[in-house]
A and B are shown apart, each in its own frame.
Chain A
Amino acid sequence: MLVDGSPIGSSGVVVDSEGNWEALAYLFGAPAPVIRVQDRSTTALSNQITVHPQASFSLGPPVPANLLTAVLPLRHADILVIASTISPQHVLYGPSYTHTALYLGGDGNGTPLISEAIPGSDPSAQTYGQVRSLPLESSTVWTEANRMSGWHASTALTGSTRDAIVAWAKTVAPTPPASLSGLPYWNVSTLLNEVDGADALLVAFGGTITSRFTAFLNVLNSAKNSTTSFICSTLVWRAYYEGSGHALDISSPNNMTAAPGSILGSLPSSFLGLFIQELDPVLVVPQTFVTSPKLSQIF
């Protein structure tokens, strides 16, 4: 990928088995940069396009340090997983990643779009809604993260599957103004209350699975499978599930863990394994994706 004749990124852009490629090119600093791509084997140059990117600059997550070019290989339907130090998930299970979103690709003007679900208490919910699609640099992926990573399916998706994943996400997570009156994030307390409640019951009953414990899990399972409200990870998981015709379930296996010092991590070790095992099928979190053998890390 050449911008004003100079290469960007370090590893180029991959052409898939269908003969297509995508690139997310960083352009800040040039008012009207000229973009071309070049075939590395023949040195043949593509047609050139001149674009007029937004003049303002906003700094994204500091990690990775090469973020601006690390995103170059992103393709539509790839997954972004980020870490934020302000997430309440730290208290619950101490994850290394706390938010996830779907990269939708560029719109007709090349603006990179993101689908994400965020709590109504987040300030940006007033402008963009809670379950929404919006430009990358307006998303919390960009504005609230300390660290970002990109992931794609370990088994390459076809173009039509990528299209279907993105189309499903755009349907449930529209752009403003539709997103302002669109679907909500889960009740913020649902995740913490249900997990806490199940946790307390399991301990109280000495590791016995009671009907009340199962009821807490059923609430979580219902929320996971809801298509009328989402958390970040259920939005991404469901988009993949529906877009792949139910062939790709990235919530399973669920290798989430609990870090020492968190609520779940403080469970007696004899109960922790059982508890996580019971949570696995009913709860999908960002940590699920970064530990999934069905996904591979891009950066």
Chain B
Amino acid sequence: MRFILAALIVIPVLSSDVRAQTFSDNFNRPDGSVGNGWSPYGAGAALAGGELRTIGSPGLGGGVVRSLSVAFPLSFSFDFSTADPANGGWFIAFNAVSTLVPGPAMAQVSFFQFAGSRNVYRNINDPTEASPNLPEPIPGWENYGSAPAHIRGHVNADLSSVITITYADSVQVTASWAATAPGPIGAALVLGNSSAYFGPHFFDNLLVTSTCQTTPCITSPPDGASPQSSFCGTFGN
């Protein structure tokens, strides 16, 4: 089979199964500017020791944003640790319109948590929905610390969602949400802290796997990539 310019030769049709589109960043680059298409926002972020080091600030938070359009359903995961356990929390937004500092980014959907023992929020351009929506600190839930916890989530096409947090001591807790209508749809991925406190707050091993809704599908490079070349090596299925 061949792809090309509105071509003329009749060829077999591609299968219609869905395709994966993956973006990952382990932040294993030299200390300093984040690179890889990311830009800092809010109180700032930089690479330090192979991790993304973000700074919190009242009304600002801090983190990074990059161009990345994703399709749902998608799965995501990252590691999170903090120097301020009582106030260390994370924030991630998909198809964000902007970072919209201060406050949560306007996005198709975003999630955040102010500390490990507190509720997790799904934000669809307000109102936010808490899960498990229990009094805080939630029994059995733990604050984050210097050892990384693993946050893993899955968002369906109807935006019903599940997030599983695995704390550094292997204790697991889960938050979930029902289907809902999307927020305003942009084209940015936002990752940062949700903290009014300096921290610093650390991220590592980000992985976003979304479903390419099309066949054919370009799976690499990601939208917004910056090849150091006049060429771009692409692949897909």
Which residues from chain A sit less than 8 Å from chain B, CB to CB?
1-2, 6-9, 11-15, 19-28, 35-54, 56-58, 71, 76, 105-113, 135-137
Contact = CB atoms under 8 A, between A and B. Distances in A.
Nearest to A47: B214
Contacts of B225: 49, 51-52, 108-110
Interface of B: 1-15, 21, 36-37, 67, 69, 71, 212-218, 220-237
B4 A7 contact: yes
Contacts of A7: 4-7
Given A12-B2, A49-B223, A50-B224, A25 B232 contact: yes
A28 B230 contact: yes
Nearest to A52: B226
Given A13-B4, A51-B224, A54-B228, 12 more contacts: A8-B5, A12-B3, A14-B1, A15-B237, A22-B233, A44-B215, A50-B224, A52-B227, A58-B230, A108-B222, A111-B228, A112-B229
Contacts of A108: 36, 220-222, 225
Given A37-B216, A38-B3, A51-B224, A107 B233 contact: yes
B231 A24 contact: yes
Contact of B3 (A1, A53, A106): A1
Nearest to B234: A23
A43 B214 CA distance: 12
B21 A109 contact: no
B-side binding surface: helix, strand, loop or mixed?
Answer: loop
5 closest Cβ pairs, A-B complex: A106-B233, A7-B5, A12-B4, A12-B2, A28-B230
Interface residue SS majority, chain A: loop
A66 to B, nearest CB: 14
B221 A51 contact: yes
Given A42-B14, A47-B71, A112 B213 contact: no
B81 to A, nearest CB: 24
Contacts of B12: 41
26 contacts: A2-B5, A13-B2, A15-B216, A15-B237, A19-B15, A21-B3, A22-B234, A24-B234, A25-B234, A27-B227, A27-B232, A38-B3, A39-B13, A39-B216, A40-B11, A45-B216, A46-B215, A46-B216, A46-B218, A51-B225, A52-B226, A53-B231, A108-B222, A108-B225, A111-B229, A135-B229
